[in-house]
Amino acid sequence: MDLKDKFAVFMRQRHGRLTHEMVLTPGRFGLGQTPDRLQPDSTTSMVCGFCSTGCGLKIHMKDGKAVNLTPDPEYPVNLGMACPKGWEALTPLKADNRAVAPMIRGEDGKLAPVEWDQALHLFTDKIKATMARHGKESVAFLSTGQIPMEELFLLGILTKFGMGLLHGDANTRQCMATSHVAYKQSFGFDAPPFTYKDYEESDVLVFFGANPCIAHPIMWERVMMNPRKPEIIVVDPRQTETALAATRHYPLLPKTDLPLLYGLAHVLIREGWIDQAYIDANTTGFREFARHVQTYHPAAVGKITGLGEARLLEFARAIRPGKRVSLWWTMGVNQSHEGVRTAQAIINLALMTGNIGRPGTGANSITGQVNAMGSRLFSNTSGLPGGRNFQDAAHRREVADILGIDTDIIQQKPGLAYDQILTGVKEGRIKALWIIATNPAHSWVDQEEFRRAAKNLDLLVVQDMYHDTDTARLAHLVLPSACWGEKEGVVINSERRMGLFKKVSPAPGQALSDFYIFKLIAKYWGCDAMFKDMDTPEQTFQVMSKLSVGRPCDFSGIRDYKMIDEEGGIQWPYSAAEAAGAATGSIPAHAGIEKERRLFADGRFYHPDGKAKFQFGPPQPIPEPVTPEFPFALLTGRSSSAQWHTNTRTGKSAVLRKLYAADSYVEIHPDDASHLKIASGDWVIVKSLRGQARARAAVASTVQPGQLFMPMHDVEVNRLTFPAFDTHSRQPSYKHCAVRVEKDADA
Ligand SMILES: Nc1nc2c(c(=O)[nH]1)N[C@H]1C(S)=C(S)[C@@H](COP(=O)(O)OP(=O)(O)OC[C@H]3O[C@@H](n4cnc5c(=O)[nH]c(N)nc54)[C@H](O)[C@@H]3O)O[C@H]1N2
Ligand SMILES: Nc1nc2c(c(=O)[nH]1)N[C@H]1C(S)=C(S)[C@@H](COP(=O)(O)OP(=O)(O)OC[C@H]3O[C@@H](n4cnc5c(=O)[nH]c(N)nc54)[C@H](O)[C@@H]3O)O[C@H]1N2
Ligand code: SF4
Ligand SMILES: [Mo]
């Protein structure tokens, strides 16, 4: 009997009718709480669970189950639109490889289902024993930006304050760490200033390393609704779908954004195309910055970037003051060895031209995952909840007071970053790793290194909605989770809008929401007293609301989930004072909740002096330059609006599968292809110093000669990537490594 059959028999015998609710009956675990409330049989609205756009979807229910969905025409984000993933959002719930019971790897090396009780004992006993033997530093967790903030918050305080771990990070390190650090240093707080209306109100939109046509299609629709006939500028080495749709494309050489931005600043200053009054009133450090960019002469920068002097001058002219200019960036900037300085060079352009705090402006980082922003504010990984700092004694006290815990429990510096945790695993210092809602055996840079490191672990726990992800296949213990649609909570989108997840479908088998898994672990660990005020996600939201008071992200004016629901999402800040109608910070007094709110209208930033700070530094050499042996620069990224990351969810939809390429592929320029005698559709092997990948050649001038592009959705891609990290944010530089390509002799 194979595992699947064994499993089916097990489920019938032991748990045939065991439901989510029954697992949590008070008698069984003494938790005494009710699980998430299943929506009644009617149509209800909630936020999509894939990307950070945060579209509203209307879910149509029958017999306690979601049967269909349609985009919500009332929701201020998407105005009745959805991309293919949104339309297919319910399909991944029904897949037959859902994890429906906890599973433990037996002596035979196979995962077999067990009861929660056994799984939770194994989890807590083994982790306690590891910590007793090897210390607090021997256990770590890796989480995500894809679950609601109540879950991330609960996990953060359970692990760091309840269990006493020091090290935990999230896949937001792969994604948003750069923006987080850049904003914090420049503005004094991690605060993307924009609202989506800015897409419609700009005269000039510049996209740096962003491909919204594919990655944020509904944000792109908002750009298309702009009535001002805007100039749309795309800065990307590749001729992406967005570059094709833009009015101008600057195909710079990979990783030359920083000199390009300094060159643009040089020209703007030289020509007097700056807003000196704004600079004087609202910023510090401009004089030093101006001195720094003095040497970035357009002729030299034209050469470094491959764009030429004339195009650089034309670019500077397009963004000179007089028009509303908005500057947007995504992973082409963040995933770089010098991402933080590059993002800050974009922020500097906005500051020096006074393009911030007004309609159609801003230095705007577009987030990626549905709750990347919630993770940045509340996950308790790289900072304390509410965007506070571990290093700050007053911050530690505030958190301790509100949570009713001893201040000494709180660590005085952040734990290790993602790559440092994995180094700890590799070197045997970290013995147990708990992975929640992320799939690093596919998505982590230099994947073979991850897989090798994972073999060193005494305990690898994977908490996922599927039992057979690339990472779950390496696990000793799999904890089955409910997913979007099966639980409730709040997520924060790119424009700081809080939106709701609701339960519109029961979770399969014994799967539990991550929230209740964390609660159970607290119970088994013996630290559940700490969470007595957090029996449900909504109660937890109230605790987080208290933690937000007085912080730039203050949302204490939000009464409850119902208010978020009725308002069509609410953008932070929304303080209790503002709810009472008072003027607060940069938000003028008003009645009711404004639907579109941007930050910094009053020119006040979050540094103690109220000013934004010019941040800069010298460009660093590319970590792995091309060589005669590995002569191509490999770029990676999203390739289809129908695929999500490691494809565990989107791969379940027959409709979506039709919308993306069936095989792995690599884009190669026609000149290079003809030189290597490669034709479109040929199987080729792409090799780096770390590994190799097999893919079909897609011969196209979308990439320049000497470059290749591969989608990140294919598992082979990160066998190739080079583990270089931004020195300030420790975000991996996924978008540049040296490779060679050859025809697959065996094909
Ligand atoms: N359909 C779909 N949508 C998604 C996702 C998904 O998996 N599928 N994921 C979501 C997530 S988590 C994220 S973070 C976002 C990512 O959204 P994006 O960042 O827009 O997507 P990417 O394709 O990763 O990268 C954007 C571009 O950076 C370019 N690039 C590479 N190197 C450089 C460089 O040196 N300079 C410049 N200027 N550009 C460069 C690449 O050619 C690519 O076109 O998408 C979100 N949306
Ligand atoms: N080469 C290359 N690599 C990249 C990138 C790139 O551009 N190039 N981009 C990077 C970026 S920006 C990102 S964000 C990462 C994304 O990388 P990952 O986070 O690894 O990608 P996902 O496929 O989204 O993984 C989410 C996992 O959570 C599970 N899951 C979904 N919902 C739930 C839930 O509610 N609870 C639980 N417990 N599990 C759930 C899914 O089944 C899946 O296994 O990839 C990074 N990797
Ligand atoms: S754009 Fe993003 S949030 Fe909107 S439907 Fe598509 S995946 Fe969902
Ligand atoms: Mo991301």
Q: Convert 700-729 to b/e letters by CB count within 10 Å (16 or more is b).
A: eebbbeebbbbbbbbbbbbbbbbbbbbebb
Q: What's the average model confidence in pLDDT over 425-438? A: 97
Query: Do residues 407 and 502 both lie within one domain?
Result: yes
The region of weakest confidence among 24-33, 459-468, 505-514 is 24-33
Query: Do residues 192 and 264 both lie within one domain?
Result: yes
- pLDDT of 5 strictly over 60: no
Nearest to 267 by CA among 307, 301, 222: 301
Query: Do residues 325 and 256 both lie within one domain?
Result: yes
Distance CA 495, CA 200 (A): 14
**CATH number where 279 lies:** 3.40.228.10
What is the pLDDT at residue 585? 65
Query: Do residues 200 and 284 both lie within one domain?
Result: yes
Q: Is 565 exposed, middle or buried (0-12, 13-18, 19+ CB in 10 A)?
A: middle
Do the domain assignments include residue 256?
yes
**CATH number where 675 lies:** 2.40.40.20
> What is the CA(132)–ligand 4 centre distance, in A?
36
The answer to whether the CB of 19 falls within 8 A of the CB of 25 is no
Do the domain assignments include residue 479?
yes
Query: Do residues 470 and 496 both lie within one domain?
Result: yes
Q: Where are the beta strands (DSSP E) in 103-187?
A: 103-105, 111-113, 139-143, 167-170
Do the domain assignments include residue 388?
yes
Percent of the chain's residues with pLDDT above 90: 91
Token pair listed for 687: 């090799």
What is the pLDDT at residue 586? 62
Question: Of all atoms in ligand 1, which is nearest to the CA of residue 256?
Answer: 35
When divided into structural domains, the chain yields a total of 4
Question: Of all atoms in ligand 1, which is nearest to the CA of residue 642?
Answer: 1
Question: Of all atoms in ligand 3, which is nearest to the CA of residue 218?
Answer: 1
Distance CA 99, CA 730 (A): 32
The answer to whether the CB of 176 falls within 8 A of the CB of 372 is yes
Do the domain assignments include residue 343?
yes
3-class secondary structure, 67: strand
Q: Please report how many Cα atoms fall inside a 13 Å half-sphere around the Cα of residue 577, on the Cβ side.
A: 13
Query: Do residues 246 and 352 both lie within one domain?
Result: yes
Token pair listed for 272: 């007097």
- pLDDT of 583 strictly over 80: no
Phi and psi at 24, nearest 5°, equal -100, 20
From the CA of 365, which ligand is nearest?
1
What is the pLDDT at residue 14? 35
pLDDT tier for residue 702 given thresholds of 50, 70 and 90: very high
Q: pLDDT tens for residues 644-681?
A: 999 999 999 999 999 999 999 999 999 999 999 999 99
From the CA of 196, which ligand is nearest?
3
**CATH number where 26 lies:** 2.20.25.90
Which one of 88, 330, 660 would you pick to mutate in the ligand 1 pocket, going by the greatest count of ligand atoms within 8 A of its CB?
330
Find tokens 């919204």 and name the residue. Answer: 212
Q: Does the Cβ of 257 fall within 6 Å of ligand 1?
A: yes
Q: Please report how many Cα atoms fall inside a 13 Å half-sphere around the Cα of residue 90, on the Cβ side.
A: 19
Return the number of other C-beta atoms located less than 10 Å from residue 610's C-beta. 14
266 forms beta bridges with none
Distance CA 627, CA 242 (A): 30
Nearest to 208 by CA among 334, 350, 333: 333
* Eight-class DSSP state of 617: -
* Eight-class DSSP state of 210: -
Token pair listed for 389: 């700092």
What is the pLDDT at residue 22? 34
Question: Of all atoms in ligand 2, which is nearest to the CA of residue 486?
Answer: 35
Phi and psi at 739, nearest 5°, equal -140, 165
Find tokens 């559709």 and name the residue. Answer: 681
Do the domain assignments include residue 571?
no
Q: How open is the CA angle 338-143-157, to the nearest 5 degrees?
A: 110
Q: What's the average model confidence in pLDDT over 719-728? A: 98
3-class secondary structure, 125: helix
The answer to whether the CB of 648 falls within 8 A of the CB of 705 is no
- pLDDT of 613 strictly over 70: yes
What is the pLDDT at residue 353? 98
Question: Of all atoms in ligand 1, which is nearest to the CA of residue 713?
Answer: 7
Query: Do residues 164 and 183 both lie within one domain?
Result: no
- pLDDT of 13 strictly over 60: no
In angstroms, the Cα distances linking 557 to 141, 566, 570 are: 33, 14, 10
Query: Do residues 255 and 346 both lie within one domain?
Result: yes
Q: Convert 623-633 to b/e letters by CB count within 10 Å (16 or more is b).
A: bbebeeebebb
Q: pLDDT tens for residues 108-136?
A: 999 999 999 999 999 999 999 999 999 99
Question: Of all atoms in ligand 1, which is nearest to the CA of residue 176?
Answer: 14
Query: Do residues 168 and 183 both lie within one domain?
Result: no
Q: How open is the CA angle 658-664-666, to the nearest 5 degrees?
A: 120
Distance CA 44, CA 66 (A): 10
Q: pLDDT tens for residues 174-219?
A: 999 999 999 999 999 999 999 999 999 999 999 999 999 999 999 9
Q: pLDDT tens for residues 283-341?
A: 999 999 999 999 999 999 999 999 999 999 999 999 999 999 999 999 999 999 999 99
Q: Does the Cβ of 84 fall within 6 Å of ligand 2?
A: no
Q: Please report how many Cα atoms fall inside a 13 Å half-sphere around the Cα of residue 121, on the Cβ side.
A: 5
Amino acid in the structure at residue 675: H
141 forms beta bridges with 168, 434
Do the domain assignments include residue 449?
yes
What is the residue range of 32's domain?
3-94
The answer to whether the CB of 232 falls within 8 A of the CB of 243 is no
Write down which residue in 75, 94, 113 finishes a domain: 94
- pLDDT of 1 strictly over 60: no
Write down which residue in 325, 343, 365 finishes a domain: 365
- pLDDT of 610 strictly over 70: yes
Token pair listed for 374: 């919630």
> What is the CA(419)–ligand 2 centre distance, in A?
16
Do the domain assignments include residue 570?
no
* Eight-class DSSP state of 646: T
Mean pLDDT of the chain: 93
Q: What share of the chain is helix, strand, coil (3-state, %, to 5)?
A: 35, 20, 45
Nearest to 46 by CA among 516, 556, 487: 487
> What is the CA(175)–ligand 1 centre distance, in A?
10
Distance CA 331, CA 590 (A): 36
Query: Do residues 256 and 358 both lie within one domain?
Result: yes
> What is the CA(702)–ligand 1 centre distance, in A?
15
Do the domain assignments include residue 551?
no
Q: Does the Cβ of 347 fall within 6 Å of ligand 2?
A: no
Distance CA 285, CA 290 (A): 9
* Eight-class DSSP state of 159: I
Write down which residue in 72, 94, 116 finishes a domain: 94
Report pTM: 0.95
3-class secondary structure, 741: strand
Nearest to 121 by CA among 638, 526, 456: 526
Q: Which residues contact 328 (CB under 8 A, 6 or more apart)?
A: 205, 206, 207, 208, 210, 212, 364, 365, 366
Token pair listed for 210: 């962003």
Q: What's the average model confidence in pLDDT over 421-442? A: 97
- pLDDT of 631 strictly over 50: yes
The answer to whether the Cα torsion of 15, 16, 20, 22 is positive or negative is negative
Q: pLDDT tens for residues 541-578?
A: 999 999 999 999 999 999 999 999 999 999 999 999 99
Structural element, H or E, at residue 441 = helix 440-443
Q: pLDDT tens for residues 19-41?
A: 333 334 333 433 333 456 777 77
**CATH number where 393 lies:** 3.40.50.740
Which one of 147, 169, 171, 236 would you pick to mutate in the ligand 2 pocket, going by the greatest count of ligand atoms within 8 A of its CB?
171
The answer to whether the CB of 567 falls within 8 A of the CB of 574 is no
283 forms beta bridges with 612
In angstroms, the Cα distances linking 67 to 60, 93, 614 are: 6, 11, 52
> What is the CA(39)–ligand 3 centre distance, in A?
22
3-class secondary structure, 628: coil
Distance CA 548, CA 533 (A): 17
Distance CA 355, CA 370 (A): 27
The region of weakest confidence among 15-24, 28-37, 227-236, 450-459 is 15-24
Query: Do residues 208 and 152 both lie within one domain?
Result: no
Distance CA 19, CA 459 (A): 28
Query: Do residues 395 and 529 both lie within one domain?
Result: yes
